[in-house]
Structures are given as structure tokens and as C-alpha cells.
A and B are shown apart, each in its own frame.
Chain A
Amino acid sequence: MSIEVRNLVKSFGAYRAVNDISLKVESGELVALLGPSGCGKTTLLRIIAGLENADSGQILLNGEDVTALPVREKKVGFVFQHYALFRRMTVFENVAFGLRVLKGRDKPSRKQISERVNHLLKMVQMDWAGGRMPSQLSGGQRQRVALARALATEPRVLLLDEPFSALDAKVRLELRRWLRKLHDEIHITSVFVTHDQEEALELADRIVVVNKGAIEQQGTPEEVYDKPANAFVYNFLGNVNVFHRRTQDGSAAVGFVRPHDVGLSKVRTKPSDVEGLIVDARIRGRQVAVEVSVAGQERAIEAEIARDAFKALGVAPGDRVFVDLEAITVYAEDYSI
């Protein structure tokens, strides 16, 4: 089931939360809406769900215009940042809710409901918790129940609003991988909102980078990470060294280079190498993060090199090194960070 958004606009007072966004999500895709907080990504998701009304624009599900449909008839599954489980219902009743409110012909029998709920709880590995109250579960468990609840009514698409951001780091990672696996099994068209670039890169088939109510770039994780369309995307996706320079014609320019693209050597290897002084070297997993201060650059340049390479280099804080910045990408400076 594909999702299409056409020229969507939404303002809150004078503030444009969504500024003419058009977007297509193909059937079965898992797409991340990535952007800083307040960029309009959650508003966009809520409009798709029907929880918020757009000022203008259209939402199409599988080519059918559903812009004016009430939430209830849109048949989208929605997962909230803070789970939004019904606090007075057991886990089982939470998941069964969407089936129990069905009317007439569609209303499943008691037995069908019970089978479906148990199946879903098993799928999210929560079948042991049917009789528990939400307050007795951990954050990660609650979010899995919320996911089962959203899937119970067989929604056309699944929308997730910062689904992992309220969880602690370890659970977040675990749940992220688990969701990826689940999506590979059931292939429901899904859109999730996140401000965590790592999460978007790891989980999504495609990333839509949103800033100030508009789309900056969309593409596969490789595309947006390796070929950022502009300075904002470069800066937002991953760790980066920033250089402010004046070009020959006098206009301001900004250059970016990722720490793992920065090379270090003891002797000058290229004419463009910059000389600097190591101020700090710290182990980061299998890498070493080296900070080099360079004349004319306010903040130290960060280089990330493999531990072996660092050992082979044989340098320590206080030593002089030559920094290779050939991988730098330069944009005209038309925005502020």
C-alpha cells in the first residue's frame, strides 16, 4: 500500500510547520523522516494519520484520496513516542481494542479476537504478558505491545512517531533491530519519525531529511550519507568537521569532512596537507579519535583512524602531524548551523 503526500501545508499561527511537502512512499517500504526537533516531521506524520488537519494538500493511500477521511476510516496503524497504552486495560485488552470496536459484519467472534491477539502477542514476544497491566511493563515491552495493538486491525500502513526515543540506549538498539526484522517479515508500508541519524541509517530503506518544514534530501541511507545534497544534510548526518572559509571571489563558503575521511601522517605527503598539533587521542571502539589543532582553525579537527593505523603512526598528544583534508566537500555558505 503506497503513501503519497502532495503539496502539504500546515501552519500553527504564523509558524509554518509543514511547508509544501510532497513525498511518495512505495508499497512495502520502510521510510525514515529524519530531522531536528521542531522541523515538522511529527506534524507531517500526524497529518498522514489524520490526527491533524492540513491547511492544504492531499494524502493518497494506494492512489485513493483519503485527505478528508476521519482518522477512524483511514485505517492506519499509529505508534506513539510515549506508547499511549490504555492504562486501565490489560495488555490483552489493549491489543484487542481495535477488534472489539468493530461493528456489524466486521466484528470478529470472541474466539477470533482471542486467536488474533495471542498471535500478535507471540509475534512481538509478549505472549507471557497478556494479563499484565501496562504499568507493570518496561518501556521496551510497552512499545512492543503498542506495536502489536497497532497491527491488530491490519492497518494499511504503519506510522511510528519517534518510537524508540523514550527508551534507554541498549533497549533502543535491540528494539530497532527487532523492528527491522519484523518489517522484513510482514512488509507493511511504514514511515517512522526520528531525530537520531544513526537510527535512520540503520533501520530505513529510504531516508527523507526534513528541515524547517521542507524536504532537504531523500534517498537510500548510502546516498544521503555519502552524497549529501547540501550543507544541512552533511552536517546533520553523522559527525563532521566544519571549516569556514572565504573563497577567492570573497564569498563565504563552508567545508565539511567526516572524521573517518581525515588522514594523518608524520611527514607531508601532499602539498595540500595541513600541519597541526595532536591535542588528544581517545579510544572509540575499534577506532581512535584524534584531535588535531591547526593554526587558523578555532576548533580542533577530529580524525578517526583504526587503532592499528594509529599504533603504526607512532604519535602521541603533543606531537606534530600532517592532516590530509582532501575529502573535503565545500558548499556556498547560505545557512547558519
Chain B
Amino acid sequence: MSQPAPALDPAWVKGVLIALTVLFFAVFIFLPLFLVFAEALKKGWDYYVSAWTDRVAFQAIQLTLLTTAIVVPLNSVFGLAAAWLITKYNFRGKTFLISLLDLPFAVSPVIAGLIFVLVLGSNTPVGAWLGTLGIKVIFAPPGIVLATLFVTFPFVVRELIPLMQSQGREEEEAALTLGARGWQVFLRVTLPNIKWGLLYGMVLCNARAIGEFGAVSVVSGHIRGETNTIPLHVEILYSEYNFTASFAVASILVFMALVTLVLKAWLEHQFEKSEKGDLP
């Protein structure tokens, strides 16, 4: 029995699209991925490991991890607060606030970095005042944390706003009528409802915080062994023609990206299941 032809595009369209996709992935993802590792391992395993464990590289890894350890929790809290404010309350200037949240995505990261230099640099009033207190922000780790905070702010809040909007306020209202206090409503009703979305936003935020280059580059000052993050260290090694070491350190970022991808896929899956109500 012959099946009636479905009202779709002819088979060759599908074939061409698949071929294009495969080609794109091959050129832009798999080939570079392969080359990163090929280049990194060019001088053997020992050299590869030594590029990681080098004192300066180790400092860069430490600073990157420290930055993300500060940035991701803070942006999760800020993002939650902002999403809560926007979705549960009505106030003047709400639309304006929503568009402001996208500012870090709209502005070039380099500009974002420059803003901090212009406001907090040691030759500015604020920077000078902080200097008298012995606090150095620009060309120091605090500046790197601030710049990363700014650049990665939208990830959590952008994930939460549509989710919380679609869920409405009724469950929270029901909890209130049942005698729950504000924090009980948050912990028992709101947080469980948004947890997968929140985690998803945190993973994206984390990935960007690790990989951020532009904004961090401006405020870092590139002081070796002090204010370099992994991406900055990769760039320095590369500009010194130390390709093998550069790619070896870059492979750390690749590993982190792979972990992020797996986490992201798993979270998306959980997220979908929980939206259907199959998961507690």
C-alpha cells in the first residue's frame, strides 16, 4: 500500500539542509575542537600537563574559579529578585526596567569594561577614595568580578521572567490564604516551581563567566600571576607565539564548555518533564 505523500518539501530539500548543517558543524565546531587538542598535545603529554600546572596558569585558573564562585551566586540572587519584582508586582517604569536588564547584552563587553575603568579607575574620584582605603578595584581581582557580574547579569533573570510570568501568582496567593508567611511561600511554592529554570540560567551564567574576555580584558591590566583569567592567559600565551601552551590551556575551556553542554541538555530535559508535571 502506498502512503500518500505528506504535504512537505521534497526529499532533496531535507538532504541539502542536512548536508549544510553537517558541513557547518564540521568546519566551525568539530575541526576547531580537533585542532585545539591536536595543537595542545603536539609537544607530548608532559608538556600538556605542565602548561596546566605552571604557576601562572594555575593562578589564572584560580582567579577564574574564584570569579565564577562569586558571580554565579550573586547573579542568581539578583536575577531572582529582579524577576520576582517584575512578575509579581505592578509599578511605573516596569517596561523601562525590563529593557535595562538587557543592557549587558546590548553593549559591547569592552565598553562594559571601560565603564568600570572610567568610574572606578585610580585617577577618578571614586577610585582615588577607594585607594585611600587601600582598596584597588581596577587592574585587580575586584574589577574582574565586577565586570563579569555586569556582563553575565541577564542570564538568570532572562530565564526566570517568562517562566514566572507563565506561572502567574495564583499558587502564591493560594499559599498566602492558607496561612503561609512570605519566606514559606518562597521556599515551598515559588522556588520549587522555578528551580529547573533557575539552574538552567545559572549554568549559562557560569559558562559566560568562565569565558568572558572583552570586559575582563579591559579591567584586568594583564598582570601575570595576579590578574589573569583563563581566557586572558590563553591570549597572552598565543601572542607570545607559545601556541602549544596556549592551546593546552584553551583545552581547559573546551572541557568546561563540554560539561556545560551536557548539564544544559540534562537540565532542559528535566525542565520539560517538570513543566508537564511528571516530576515533583
Q: What residues of chain A have their CB less than 8 Å away from a CB belonging to chain B?
A: 49-51, 71-72, 74-78, 80, 82, 84-90, 97-98, 101-102, 133-136, 146, 149-150, 152-153
- Residue on B nearest A97 in the bound complex, by CB: B178
Find out whether the CB atom of A71 lies under 8 angstroms from the CB atom of B177.
yes
Q: Report if B32 contacts A (CB, 8 A).
A: no
In the complex, what residues of A have CB within 8 A of residue B171's CB?
Answer: 84-87
In the complex, what residues of A have CB within 8 A of residue B170's CB?
Answer: 80, 82, 84
Q: Report if B188 contacts A (CB, 8 A).
A: yes
In the complex, what residues of A have CB within 8 A of residue B44's CB?
Answer: none
A84 touches which of B174, B179, B192 (Cβ 8 Å): B174
Find out whether the CB atom of B277 lies under 8 angstroms from the CB atom of A86.
no
Find out whether the CB atom of B177 lies under 8 angstroms from the CB atom of A97.
no
Return 29 A-B CB contacts under 8 Å, by A number. A72-B176, A72-B177, A74-B177, A77-B177, A78-B173, A80-B170, A80-B173, A80-B174, A84-B170, A85-B171, A85-B174, A86-B174, A86-B189, A87-B171, A88-B274, A88-B280, A97-B188, A98-B178, A98-B179, A98-B180, A101-B175, A101-B180, A101-B184, A133-B280, A135-B276, A135-B277, A136-B277, A149-B178, A150-B178
Q: Report if B193 contacts A (CB, 8 A).
A: yes
Q: A-B pairs with the 5 shortest C-beta distances?
A: A135-B277, A98-B178, A84-B170, A78-B177, A88-B192
Find out whether the CB atom of B173 lies under 8 angstroms from the CB atom of A84.
yes
A101 touches which of B173, B178, B192, B279 (Cβ 8 Å): B178
Find out whether the CB atom of A133 lies under 8 angstroms from the CB atom of B173.
no
In the complex, what residues of B have CB within 8 A of residue A134's CB?
Answer: 277
In the complex, what residues of B have CB within 8 A of residue A150's CB?
Answer: 177-178
Give A133 to B279 CA distance when docked, in angstroms: 9
A-facing residues in B169-207 (Cβ within 8 Å): 170-171, 173-181, 184, 188-189, 192-193
- Residue on A nearest B177 in the bound complex, by CB: A78
Q: Report if B240 contacts A (CB, 8 A).
A: no
- Residue on B nearest A90 in the bound complex, by CB: B280
Please indicate which of the listed interface residues B178, B193, B277 has the most CB atoms of chain A within 10 Å of its own CB: B178
Residues of B in contact with A, size category: 20 to 34
Find out whether the CB atom of B180 lies under 8 angstroms from the CB atom of A97.
yes
Measured CB to CB, the closest approach of chain A to B166, in angstroms, equals 12
Q: Report if B46 contacts A (CB, 8 A).
A: no
Give A150 to B177 CA distance when docked, in angstroms: 8
- Residue on A nearest B184 in the bound complex, by CB: A101
Give A84 to B174 CA distance when docked, in angstroms: 7
Please indicate which of the listed interface residues A50, A76, A101, A135 has the most CB atoms of chain B within 10 Å of its own CB: A101
In the complex, what residues of A have CB within 8 A of residue B9's CB?
Answer: none
Give A84 to B177 CA distance when docked, in angstroms: 12
- Residue on B nearest A12 in the bound complex, by CB: B90
Interface string of B116-150 (1 = CB under 8 A from A): 00000000000000000000000000000000000
Find out whether the CB atom of A97 lies under 8 angstroms from the CB atom of B175.
yes
Find out whether the CB atom of A102 lies under 8 angstroms from the CB atom of B189.
no
- Residue on A nearest B195 in the bound complex, by CB: A88
In the complex, what residues of A have CB within 8 A of residue B189's CB?
Answer: 86
Find out whether the CB atom of B177 lies under 8 angstroms from the CB atom of A87.
no
Give A102 to B178 CA distance when docked, in angstroms: 9
In the complex, what residues of B have CB within 8 A of residue A74's CB?
Answer: 177
In the complex, what residues of A have CB within 8 A of residue B177's CB?
Answer: 49-51, 71-72, 74, 76-78, 150
Measured CB to CB, the closest approach of chain A to B154, in angstroms, equals 26
Find out whether the CB atom of A101 lies under 8 angstroms from the CB atom of B278.
no
Given A82-B170, A134-B277: A102 in contact with B179 (beta carbons within 8 A)? yes
Measured CB to CB, the closest approach of chain B to A10, in angstroms, equals 15
A51 touches which of B173, B180, B184, B276 (Cβ 8 Å): B173
In the complex, what residues of A have CB within 8 A of residue B280's CB?
Answer: 88-90, 133
Given A86-B189, A88-B192, A153-B179: A78 in contact with B277 (beta carbons within 8 A)? no
- Residue on A nearest B191 in the bound complex, by CB: A88
Find out whether the CB atom of A51 lies under 8 angstroms from the CB atom of B176.
yes
Measured CB to CB, the closest approach of chain B to A209, in angstroms, equals 26
Measured CB to CB, the closest approach of chain B to A93, in angstroms, equals 9
Interface string of B252-280 (1 = CB under 8 A from A): 00000000000000000000001011111
In the complex, what residues of A have CB within 8 A of residue B175's CB?
Answer: 86, 97, 101
Please indicate which of the listed interface residues B175, B179, B188, B193 has the most CB atoms of chain A within 10 Å of its own CB: B179
- Residue on A nearest B181 in the bound complex, by CB: A72
Give A97 to B174 CA distance when docked, in angstroms: 10
In the complex, what residues of A have CB within 8 A of residue B193's CB?
Answer: 87-88
B278 touches which of A84, A97, A135 (Cβ 8 Å): A135
- Residue on B nearest A82 in the bound complex, by CB: B170
- Residue on A nearest B173 in the bound complex, by CB: A51
In the complex, what residues of A have CB within 8 A of residue B180's CB?
Answer: 72, 97-98, 101
Measured CB to CB, the closest approach of chain A to B110, in angstroms, equals 43
Give A133 to B280 CA distance when docked, in angstroms: 8
In the complex, what residues of B have CB within 8 A of residue A49's CB?
Answer: 177
In the complex, what residues of B have CB within 8 A of residue A72's CB?
Answer: 176-177, 179-181
- Residue on B nearest A77 in the bound complex, by CB: B177
Find out whether the CB atom of B176 lies under 8 angstroms from the CB atom of A71.
yes
Measured CB to CB, the closest approach of chain A to B31, in angstroms, equals 44
In the complex, what residues of B have CB within 8 A of residue A146's CB?
Answer: 174
In the complex, what residues of B have CB within 8 A of residue A153's CB?
Answer: 178-179
Give A285 to B178 CA distance when docked, in angstroms: 43
Find out whether the CB atom of A78 lies under 8 angstroms from the CB atom of B174.
yes
Measured CB to CB, the closest approach of chain B to A86, in angstroms, equals 6
